[in-house]
Structure 1
Amino acid sequence: MHAITIRGSGGPDVLDWTEVPDPRPGAGEVLVRVTATAVNRADVLQRQGLYPPPAGASEILGLECSGTITELGENVDGWQVGDQVCVLLAGGGYAEQVVVPAPQLLPVPDGVGLVAAAALPEAACTVWATAVMSAGLRGGEVLLVHGGGGGIGTHAIQVGKALGATIAVTAGSAERLEQCRRLGADILINYRDQDFVTELHNVTDGANVILDNMGASYLDRNLDALATGGRLVIIGFQGGLTGELDIGTLMRKRAGIASIALRPQPVPEKGRIVAEVQKNLWPLVERGCVRPVIGQTVPLREAGDAHRSMEKGTAFGKILLTS
């Protein structure tokens, strides 16, 4: 088969379309013929040499995909050859075929095409595991989403809205904020010329839940933006890895901080998250309350162009790669 491989760490030019050995499923695994995959920030970091795959994971990029099951390993129940699926991966999606642990399989939701379904697994599992399962977001609360125009952000807006939350977002342009508003965002903050702490406290008592992709550079302001009893969940470190924590503010607000990464978690824990997503989130997708937001579609063999788009921030929502 063919896949995108990395020729040393560096820019998008180090991505090559090459022939690699065909994968074979082991016990508890299935083989999926890939129809589409998606570009995630972790793919860019891995290409740059900053985020190696966890032990035992494929060196090939790609944390999610959609496609058709072509082979079952031993001890796989509930799935058949020919089933159309979308899947959460620890790696391997930038390829014509990928082996997937069966607990990480999701059926393609009714009303969603097979290509579009590739935009769902990583965002759906990340948002549900962080904002809902960890932070306990519920109706009537305020959810602040940093990077509202990205793949995670566009999904989080819709999920929060479907759960009855008030949604605040940060984004870097009036155009992207307007697109966020159309998805359901209520409070629009341009991080280039507005302070999100001030803007949020002008209209609320603070955020009950913050979904943060920035990390260190936003840590102190995120604490200031939290309401009493608020929960900060860090899912990225675009703003750095090391920051100072004002424990006094944290204690005074009786706030909590969590950091959650899906990729290194063991298969049973990923399976638990996937099962919760299928049970609770997939009905919202099938009713049209939450939909995949796709900003760009690129042929898989031109993955370098897709990475350039992500780094420039030109696409609103997910960037897909099609086989």
Structure 2
Amino acid sequence: MADLPNEMTAIEISRPGGPEVLKPHRLTVPSAGERELLIRVIAAGVNRPDVLQRQGHYPPPPGAPATPGLEVAGRVVRCGPGTTRFQEGDSVCALVAGGGYAEYCVAAEANCLPVPAGLTPLEAAGLPETFFTVWTNVFQRGGLKAGETLLVHGGSSGIGTTAIMLGRAFGARVFATAGTAQKCRACEELGADRAINYREEDFVEIVKNATDGRGVDVILDMVGGDYIARNIGAAAVDGRIVMIAFLGGPSAKVNFMPVMQKRLVVTGSTLRPRSVEEKAAIARELEAHVWPLFASGVIKPVIDSTFPLEEAAHAHQRMEQGAHIGKIILTT
């Protein structure tokens, strides 16, 4: 059992505000509790909820670290009491409720997965938050099946690129929206049948024409706002609309008559506040159904850029500029 330092570098949100409020500081290395692992973090993913937390709009759930960061990959250095699967030295990636922007991070063993065969820890650091989110929303809540159609808003984001790849891998026809020609090309290269430049085209009209007027079966929406009513227009009979964020605002004036007429399901979810057990159930399905796709090369993480941990502020600037395609990763 190797000795561990008493302190580590972590990123502090010094006050609510812009990217500049993210500051490296020194913290005590945490201890692994019951059924927990202490991970020496090699890389951590940057996600939109981290930005909201930094701005003061998304506080960590009770008991979670104040340090931001919802996904990490690295090496297990301590196993807490009651752990059964992983051992010291194992390479894992983990979904965490906070604490990822640090050199060491504690994770529930049940929310850890082995780094998929053929991937580096840096690549694996961008998996948990996005793949857990897409799996639970598109496949569990949205019930996407082979032969159906999927519309992904924000197709070039970490969530969006993941949804495109998984939708295509499981036999769906995929449409995606994005804001530039470059992003649209990236979506199509990942497997979208048609990428729609939302600045120049009407996605409702495009998907209606492309489906002979039928509409799409599942819509994954992180925009909200006026997209809420437009999603209802784009949905097929018995369609499912799943909302996971509201970049355009959470309110809209909506005519609900088409919801009745089309027998639509309008749903949504958050991931971070869910229990360890709920997240563990998602992890088991991912390992069974998605992890083999990495080994076979069917899917591969899309990494936009990497930044040293101490430059977390620059990583957030990159995210807020909106030019990224895929995941932004911090390295330690």
- Interval of TM-score (by shorter of Structure 1 and Structure 2): over 0.9
Distance 2:189 2:183 in 1: 10
> Using the alignment, how far apart are the partners of 2:180 and 2:9 within structure 1?
38
RMSD: 0.8
Cα separation, 2, equivalents of 1:149 and 1:112 = 21
Please give the alpha-carbon distance, in whole angstroms, between the structure 2 residues aligned to 1:163 and 1:134: 16
How many residue pairs get matched? 323
Per the TM alignment, residue 260 of structure 1 is displaced from its structure 2 partner at its CA by: 1.1
- Give, in angstroms, the shift of residue 207 of structure 1: 1.0
Q: Structure 1 residue 256: deviation in Å?
A: 0.2
1:48 aligns with one of 50, 55, 68: 55
**Which of 302, 311, 328 lines up with 1:319 in the alignment?**
328
> 2:162 maps to what in 1?
155
Match of 1:166 in 2: 173
Give the CA deviation at 1:104: 0.4
Aligned-pair distance for 1:243? 2.0
Q: Structure 1: which amino acid aligns with 2:226?
A: S
Q: Which deviates more from structure 2 when the two are superposed, residues 282-291 or residues 18-27?
A: 282-291
Quote the residue 2:69 is aligned against.
Answer: 62
Which runs of structure 1 show a deviation greater than 3 angstroms over 4 or more consecutive aligned residues?
none
Q: Could you list the per-position Cα deviations for residues 89-148 of structure 1 after superposition, in whole angstroms to 9, with x for gaps in the alignment?
A: 111100000110111000000011111110111111111111111111011111000000
* 1:244 Cα deviation after fit: 3.0
Residue of structure 1 equivalent to 2:223: 214
Question: Which residue, 282, 303, 306 being the options, matches 1:273?
Answer: 282
1:235 aligns with 2:244: yes
What residue number does 2:126 align with? 119
For residues 218 and 88 of structure 1, what CA distance do their matches in structure 2 show?
Answer: 29
1:81: which partner in 2? 88
Q: Does 1:9 align with 2:10?
A: no
* Offset of residue 173 of structure 1: 0.6
**Structure 2 counterpart of 1:288, from 280, 289, 297:** 297
Deviations 1:40-85 (A, max 9, x none): 0000010001111111111111010100000011000011000000
SS in 2 for 1:194: coil
Matched residue type, 1:169: A
Alignment partner, residue 232 of structure 2 = 223
For residue 185 of structure 1, what is the aligned residue in structure 2? 192
Q: For residue 235 of structure 1, report the CA deviation from its aligned partner.
A: 0.7
% identical aligned pairs: 47
Q: TM-score, normalised by structure 2?
A: 0.96
Write the mapping of 1:98-109 to structure 2, written as runs, cut at 5 A.
98-109=105-116
- Whole-angstrom distance in 2 between the partners of 1:281 and 1:321: 24
**Residue in structure 2 matched with residue 19 of structure 1 by the alignment:** 26
> Counterpart of 2:203 in structure 1: which amino acid?
F
CA separation in 2, counterparts of 1:190 and 1:216? 18
Opposite residue 219 of structure 1, the aligned amino acid is I
Summarize deviations over 1:142-170 as a string: whole Å, max 9, x none: 10000000000001100000011111000
Measured in 1, the distance between the counterparts of 2:132 and 2:254 equals: 28
Write the deviation string for residues 225-247 of structure 1: whole angstroms up to 9, x where unpaired. 10000000001110112223322
- Secondary structure of the corresponding residue to residue 73 of structure 2: strand
Q: Please report the TM-score for the alignment, with normalisation by the length of structure 1.
A: 0.99
- SS of structure 1 residue aligned to 2:75: strand
Q: Give the C-alpha shift of residue 315 in structure 1.
A: 1.5
Mapping 1:234-273, distance limit 5 Å:
234-273=243-282
Query: 1:8 aligns to what SS in structure 2?
Result: coil
Equivalent-residue separation in structure 1 for 2:269 and 2:293 (angstroms): 23
Q: Secondary structure at the match of 1:31?
A: strand
* Counterpart AA for 2:62: A
3-state DSSP of counterpart to 1:60: coil
User: Are the structure 2 counterparts of residues 321 and 50 from structure 1 closer, same or farther at C-alpha, using a change threshold of 3 Å?
Assistant: same
